[in-house]
Amino acid sequence: MYINGQWIEAKDKKKFSVLNPANGKVIAQVPDGGEAEAIMAVAAADKAFPIWSSRTAYKRSSFLYDAHRLMMEDLESLAQIMTEEQGKPIQSARNEVRYGADFLLWFAEEVKRIYGRTISSSRSDQRFIVIKQPVGVVAAITPWNYPMSMITRKVAPALAAGCTIVLKPAEATPICAMEIFKLLEKAGLPKGVANLVTALDPEPVGRVFTTDKRIQKLTFTGSTDIGKMLAREAAGQMKRISLELGGHAPFIVCKDADPIRAAKGLSLVKFLNTGQACISPNRIYVHSTMKESFLKMLKEKVDLMIPGNGMTPGVKIGPLVNEAEIEKVNSQVKDAVNHGATLVTGGFRIIDNELDKGYFYAPTILDNVTKEMRIYREETFGPVAPVITYEDEDDLLKMANDTDYGLAAYVYTKSYSTAMKFFEGLNFGIIGINDINPTSAAAPFGGMKMSGIGREGAFEGIEEYLETKSGGFSLNT
């Protein structure tokens, strides 16, 4: 673990194993921290805060520029570590490293755009001045599905704002986090400014994050249930929170859309990271008149996807994260088929070619999915595309919005007016209009309803780590 500028073991010397999800082999043993280590990290961050927050924006910017350069220089080695630990195909891992580095670069620039303002007063002898200041010590919890970019998406704006931070990465992918912190150390980060606590059991660390008064903000990416629990506990001290939670994205193919282009787009975004993405489409609405051509193209694309170890050239489908996810995905598919869905392709665990040692599920297409099926309501964190037939486009908005989630949505149409109608009418934080990649370090990322609170990326991302302070100055001395 990295605490107060030093790499240390757990106090009791405990460790836990990290497995390669493609073959079940142990990659490494990492320190198994807990409450004691979390308290140490918070103390270090609290001590470092006055010094780091007093650094000029330009000095904090220079550090982030250096971190960005180092991350890009180590792109290939970082990508290989990610593929081994998380399982995604190597090209996807390379793309994630670039995406993660983008946040370091963006906030290296955004830190110099933290502006205050003056406000007119009704009194001639009074002036109002507003400034932005860092909130203080930040606690961050990141997920396993994007194990590097989700770290930089939180660490970069926090450091840019002048905050110090304690990070607990997902227990499935601590090595990726360790590699990012090695880069931060190499870039010259002062001791205590960023701290890393690895733990197999997240509960004791999370308890420190929600109860320690020195922590002023908690940021979390993960499941909605855990996010709600953390929010309840953090409310006891009125901590500021940012939550990026689950999604259940609709993918709408309008009647005027090109079904072939839409199917190609869906094949790319649905099976990205083996469907293990919070913005992955989970409800695919296709008009009955174009469903045949849409499904034909989608099946052609899906049948060409090669599953396997992400290090193998040509592999497009990596493993799921663990056995529990295999069981969840398979149970949703079985439930849908039992309730009348048609299995177009896939629908089984892959056990040939020695893939039985990992957690592989065949890329799957389900047709004739209805509201009575679990997969229509539950988020599917796996490679399953559920297709829903519709007749009346006027009902699409209502159907798409009929969910507790509100993170991402996708619309394919040739009509500008239709695009604007859905962009304004969909209750989701991120909308892709004929676009399967509506994300960037420069664009705000976050959801509505049960999909979270706050935004990451863009100028909104740094605002999450800043307090607004106003001063009224009387000129009568």
CB environment 162-172: b (16+ within 10 A), e (fewer): bbbbbbbbbbb
How many residues would you count in the chain? Answer: 477
* Three-class HEC string of 346-410: CCCECCCCCHHHCCCECCEEEECCCCCCHHHHCCCCCCEEEEEEECCHHHHHHHHHCCCEECEEE
Query: Tokens for 260?
Result: 């072939």
Number of other CB atoms surrounding residue 265 within 10 Å:
23
CB 405 within 8 A of CB 449: yes
List 37, 85, 179, 244, catalytic entry? 244
Say what angle helices 149-161 and 90-110 make with each other, to 10 degrees.
10
> 240-244 and 452-453 as β-strands: parallel, antiparallel, unpaired?
antiparallel
Selection from 318, 441, 258, 393 nearest residue 266 by Cα: 258
Distance CA 91, CA 81 (A): 12
Question: Strand pairing of 215-221 and 194-196?
Answer: unpaired
Q: Which one is catalytic: 278, 325, 379, 456?
A: 278
Token pair 């934080």 in the structure block, residue: 429
Tell me the two tokens of residue 217: 């903000």
Helix axes 224-234, 202-211, angle to 10 degrees: 40
Beta 384-390 vs 405-406: how paired, if at all? Answer: unpaired
**Whole-Å CA distances, 283 to 35, 388, 423:** 41, 7, 17
Q: Count the neighbouring beta carbons within 10 Å of the beta carbon of residue 411.
A: 25
Residue 244 bears catalytic tag: yes
278: annotated active-site residue: yes
Catalytically annotated residues: 244, 278
